[in-house]
Homo-oligomer: A and B are copies of this chain.
């Protein structure tokens, strides 16, 4: 492309034509930094990519080749807007591992569970409607809620997740203000970013508050089967058929197929299918058959155990390194599964302002404010242990600790965390922010 062409197409003559919702879509300030952070000398504790190096590629290749030869004109054709029946039946078996009893007809397959979030928000939320979320919550969900012009209100959490008392108070306060609450969005297992897991009793308490207040629960469970210390706690959906449940194959198999699902009461499912047809006609058909084939012809439960062993070693490496390296006054969560540790730095530090110095010290992380719609999280950072090997994690944590120590010294000398600061990132997913 010539410079001239680049110049011509960069002018935005459409600036007055965009929809109001487009104003809520902003490029995150941290995103530019992350493109630098992908350099090999940098230890990235930022990304949420599953590590799929242990998949049986040879076996998968053979099996998919046979599928194409015998069934190619079906698996490469248009499919059902709801998703293929064979996979929906298998998904029922997957969900049974977390205590869910469901029927394939109540499942809508989506292009990753991100699209599940998009479609659920699409069918429920008008501009100005309130979505309740954990404090902190998944950056990609916040971006979707904001793109539908929702107001996101964070509910205070403790070490067991959402506080039922605070939840009820928040609902009552918002209703007193005349606000319309559409649903509570929650990640009860190994929350992204906090790593916190809601115990069973807490799940029941949260459901009970929502039921008595008439607030729908949307349970997002991408990491549920990646329990590193004990068997998974049954899903919230197992206690209440009215919970809308989002599942995904991205972490238990592979994310590149973009296949997730929504389990919803029948009336909601009908709307979801209409929304799916309007959005994409049908979810990726070849991907669905590829996953159905994988589930049929591979020991997928055994593969999850292999993944769990790998992630456990990495989590343990991170927790050990944090204990050894972090300066006094720093705290962090101890996740029982999933991908993430949530770090709280001493009062006065600013993870957002610190990020360029982190990258300079060859370590990347996601600053806390990305996980809030309201500017909280200045002292927080999400560190992910899913992708780098244990020795790299150790190196990364050491570099992170060094940066924090230097920040503390500067603060103790000058009284505040020093510039330059970045503007607060708009929540919005990227490959680094899953």
Residues of A within 8 A of B (CB): 1, 5-6, 8-15, 17-22, 25-27, 49, 52-53, 55, 57-58, 60-62, 64-66, 68-69, 72-73, 75-81, 103, 105-106, 111-112, 114-115, 118, 122-126, 129, 140, 143-144, 147, 182, 216, 241-242, 250, 254-258, 265-268, 270-271, 274-275, 277-287, 290, 428-431, 434
Contact = CB atoms under 8 A, between A and B. Distances in A.
B52 A77 contact: yes
B55 A431 contact: no
A115 B81 CA distance: 13
A124 B285 contact: no
B434 A281 contact: yes
B15 A267 contact: yes
A434 B78 contact: yes
23 contacts: A5-B103, A6-B266, A12-B268, A13-B242, A19-B122, A19-B125, A21-B122, A22-B124, A25-B123, A61-B72, A81-B430, A111-B283, A111-B284, A112-B280, A114-B280, A118-B280, A140-B278, A258-B282, A258-B284, A277-B429, A278-B429, A282-B431, A284-B287
Contacts of A255: 76-78, 285
Q: Is the interface of A mostly helix, strand, loop or mixed?
A: helix
A258 B280 contact: yes
Given A19-B129, A64-B64, 12 more contacts: A13-B267, A22-B122, A25-B123, A25-B274, A61-B65, A79-B256, A118-B278, A118-B279, A118-B280, A256-B284, A258-B285, A258-B287
Given A17-B216, A19-B123, A25-B274, A57 B69 contact: yes
B73 A53 contact: yes
Contacts of A61: 64-66, 68-69, 72
Contacts of A13: 242, 265, 267
A140 B14 CA distance: 25
A72 B49 contact: no
A35 to B, nearest CB: 11
A264 to B, nearest CB: 9
Nearest to A126: B19
A239 to B, nearest CB: 15
Contacts of A241: 8-9
Given A126-B19, A241-B8, A278-B429, A25 B271 contact: yes
Nearest to A49: B78
Contact of A76 (B12, B257, B286): B257
Contacts of A122: 19, 21-22, 147
B256 A75 contact: yes
Nearest to A67: B61
Contact of A274 (B27, B49, B182, B284): B27
Given A1-B103, A78-B431, A143 B285 contact: no
Contacts of A254: 76-77, 286
A17 B275 contact: no
Contacts of A286: 254, 256-258, 286-287, 290
A293 B123 CA distance: 37
A242 B9 CA distance: 8
Contacts of A129: 19
Contacts of A14: 124, 216, 265, 267-268
Nearest to A15: B267
A57 B72 contact: yes
B77 A256 contact: yes
Nearest to A431: B78
A106 B9 contact: yes
A65 B278 CA distance: 33
A286 B76 CA distance: 13
A258 to B, nearest CB: 4
Nearest to A26: B274
Contacts of A49: 77-78
Contacts of A69: 57-58, 61
